[in-house]
Amino acid sequence: MSTDNNTLRRLLRLPCTIAVVGLSNEPDRPSHRVAQYLQQHGFRIVPVNPRYATANQSVLGEPCYASLGDIPFAVDMVDVFRRTEDVLPIAEQAVQIGAKCLWQQIGVENREADQLARGAGLDSVMNLCVKIEHERLLDAGQLG
């Protein structure tokens, strides 16, 4: 199932708070580069990675949380940098916290998680990179 440009434009409008599940503190990792790009373009990034949360480390200057349920404020989008087989519990948490969108990055395509999210009224994107899609729409003059 593909996601159309109208939906992507709606999802990528500011203001938007994005929980990045699996965000790494290592600058060479794709999750770090994507989150940094989004942060530089005005998105609020919320790191979710138990490895850094238990050590009280921040990522990209933001406090890190162990799970989506630990975030004490509303999240619009859950951007997932985890293996396909790890996404279903993340989708369940996204529904529980009232997120509006579950976004599975390139190479991540859990159809059960997609169906769960859509069934709960969330938008769901699979196998696309939020950074690439934002750049593409921005370059095309389709984001204001």
Report CA-CA distances (Å) from 114 to 9, 18, 45, 92, 117: 19, 18, 22, 10, 5
Q: Look at residue 34 and tell me if it is in a domain.
A: yes
Q: How many domains does the chain have?
A: 1
Please tell me the predicted confidence (pLDDT) of residue 33: 98
| Residues of the chain where predicted confidence (pLDDT) is lower than 50 | none
Indicate the residue type of 113. A
The whole-number pLDDT of residue 141 equals 87
Q: Check residue 144 and give its pLDDT.
A: 64
Q: Look at residue 1 in the predicted model and tell me its pLDDT.
A: 53
Asked whether residue 144 is domain-assigned, the answer is no
Q: How far apart are CA 144 and CA 129, in angstroms?
A: 19
Q: Give the range of the structural domain holding residue 27, as residue numbers without chain letter.
A: 5-139
pLDDT at 140: 86
The CATH number for 88's domain is 3.40.50.720
Q: For residue range 37-59, what is the model confidence (pLDDT) as tens digits?
A: 999 999 999 999 999 998 889 99
Assigned domain for 94 exists = yes
**Closest listed residue to residue 10, CA positions, set 104, 118, 144:** 144
- Residue 142, pLDDT score: 85
